[in-house]
């Protein structure tokens, strides 16, 4: 399993954002450093389907340009007494695929660690929601009719080949999904090319496109990025201002004869407030909020780490896990009451201070966690911290003792 990096998708960022982003489609041949088969294979998709736990909307099926009704490939099932209405049936999916249907695997980043990492890295670049979708199309078939999408799409060909037509960015971009288009009315495409494994194609949002598989089964990823248009960004700026200022919190009666004049006053006040906004600081905030809002779940071995805590010995190497916060609530003699993952613990003062001040990833041995205590006490404390997630066992790491605050 290999992970793609943003530069494999975008190429030179200066060129991409300076010339292509939001302006025109582009094609990059042999763009991947990674082996396409190690990013995602057709056999990997068999594994996803055969888990027998896939539900809508994680899978769509289309044939001859039309969506196949979901009833054709789902069934109800009772899971531990709970009635689930839309479990995907692997055998029906296989039958539809053999008959020429295209399978769309939505949000594959929810299933595959390497694609989760890819979505996270693209989210960081664009400060916007990114998803990874897989398209498996039988040889010579076209899954969808010409259409456009409300998202930017980076097509990464992984297996087989697929011939694409992509039309120029339209003069007016609605930002939504209009449905199927008439190819005869679209004019000359901006790009007409056949993608081979390792090729990358960029399709800006609302660019019409259509694709047909070559003489073998085609597998490609569509890495989508949700545009943050000016209208939405301005709404976020205004919402941030009015949310944090008590003068906007009143609840007027709209039928009151004074309301129009008061509305004018509030608009004037908002205009004054907007004139004081620091553009650079506001963009920094919008970037941070976009990443935070769009990020997925972190991939980590929480269950295995918790189980491994029972086996920690004095020589066991542990690392600080910065994803788990330690918030001090109060002091009780030489102990500290701290909130950790929503639970309250009483821990030695020196331990809490060291954990609070130390960066993510710092390592130590369990037996030396508490320098002024015995190896046995230090190890038992380390086991407790590992069980609640503050520390995590590591197999190999450089020894660097956690700093202990002076008391």
Single out the residue of 384, 389, 346 nearest to residue 338, CA to CA: 346
State yes or no: pLDDT of 55 exceeds 50.
yes
The C-alpha atoms of residue 234 and residue 59 are separated, in whole angstroms, by 35
Single out the residue of 152, 143, 245 nearest to residue 207, CA to CA: 152
| Structure confidence at residue 395 (pLDDT) | 63
User: Which range scores top for mean pLDDT: 140-149, 194-203, 287-296, 391-400?
Assistant: 194-203
The C-alpha atoms of residue 233 and residue 255 are separated, in whole angstroms, by 31
Residues in the chain: 407
Burial of 379 (0-12, 13-18, 19+ CB in 10 A): buried
Single out the residue of 132, 133, 129, 152 nearest to residue 143, CA to CA: 133
157, 218 in Cβ contact below 8 A? Answer: yes
Classify residue 52 by its DSSP letter: S
State yes or no: pLDDT of 349 exceeds 90.
no
More confident residue, 191 or 178: 191
- Under the banding of pLDDT at 50, 70 and 90, the label for residue 397 is very low
| 199-218: average pLDDT | 96
Beta partners for residue 191, in sequence order: 166
State yes or no: pLDDT of 203 exceeds 60.
yes
Note the pTM of the prediction, 2 decimals: 0.79
The pLDDT tens digits for 75-112 are 999 999 999 999 999 999 999 999 999 999 999 999 99
Single out the residue of 317, 327, 316, 324 nearest to residue 300, CA to CA: 324
The C-alpha atoms of residue 70 and residue 72 are separated, in whole angstroms, by 5
| Structure confidence at residue 398 (pLDDT) | 41
State yes or no: pLDDT of 273 exceeds 80.
yes
The C-alpha atoms of residue 90 and residue 55 are separated, in whole angstroms, by 11
- Under the banding of pLDDT at 50, 70 and 90, the label for residue 352 is confident
Residue 211, Cβ neighbours under 10 Å: how many?
A: 23
Single out the residue of 367, 371, 360, 363 nearest to residue 406, CA to CA: 371
Coil, helix or strand at residue 75: strand
């Amino acid at each position: 399993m290999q992970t793609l990096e943003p530069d494999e998708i975008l190429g030179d960022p200066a060129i991409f954002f300076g010339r292509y982003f939001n302006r025109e489609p582009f094609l990059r041949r042999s763009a991947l450093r990674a082996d396409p088969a190690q990013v995602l294979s057709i056999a990997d998709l068999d594994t996803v389907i055969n888990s027998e736990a896939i539900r809508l909307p994680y899978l769509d099926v289309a044939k001859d340009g039309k969506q196949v009704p979901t009833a054709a490939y789902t069934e109800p099932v009772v899971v531990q007494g709970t009635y689930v209405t839309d479990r995907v049936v692997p055998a029906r999916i296989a039958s539809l695929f053999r008959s020429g249907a295209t399978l769309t695997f939505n949000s594959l980043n929810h299933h595959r660690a390497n694609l989760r990492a890819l979505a996270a890295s693209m989210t960081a670049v664009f400060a916007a929601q990114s998803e990874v979708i897989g398209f498996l199309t039988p040889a010579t078939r076209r899954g969808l009719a010409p259409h456009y999408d409300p998202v930017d799409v980076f097509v990464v060909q992984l297996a087989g080949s697929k011939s694409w037509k992509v039309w120029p960015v339209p003069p007016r971009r609605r930002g939504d999904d209009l449905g199927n288009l008439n190819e005869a009315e679209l004019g000359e495409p901006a790009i007409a090319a056949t993608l081979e494994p390792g090729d990358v194609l960029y399709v800006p949002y609302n660019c019409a496109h259509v694709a047909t598989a070559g003489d073998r089964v085609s597998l490609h990823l569509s890495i989508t990025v949700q545009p943050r248009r000016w209208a939405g960004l301005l709404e976020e700026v205004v919402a941030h201002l009015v949310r944090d200022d008590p003068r906007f919190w009143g609840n007027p009666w709209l039928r009151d004869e004074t309301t129009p004049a008061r509305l004018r006053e509030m608009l004037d006040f908002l205009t004054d407030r907007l004139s004081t906004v620091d553009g650079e600081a506001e963009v920094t905030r919008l970037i941070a909020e976009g990443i935070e809002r769009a990020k997925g779940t972190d991939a980590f071995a929480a269950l295995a780490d918790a189980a491994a805590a029972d086996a920690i010995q004095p020589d066991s190497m542990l690392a600080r896990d910065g994803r788990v916060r330690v918030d001090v609530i109060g002091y009780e003699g030489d102990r500290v009451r701290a909130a950790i993952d929503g639970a309250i613990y009483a821990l030695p003062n020196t331990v809490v201070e060291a954990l609070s001040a130390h960066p993510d990833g710092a390592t130590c041995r369990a037996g030396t966690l508490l320098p002024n205590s015995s190896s046995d006490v230090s190890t038992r404390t380390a086991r407790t911290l590992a069980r609640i997630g503050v520390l995590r066992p590591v197999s190999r790491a450089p020894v660097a003792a956690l700093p202990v605050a002076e008391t």
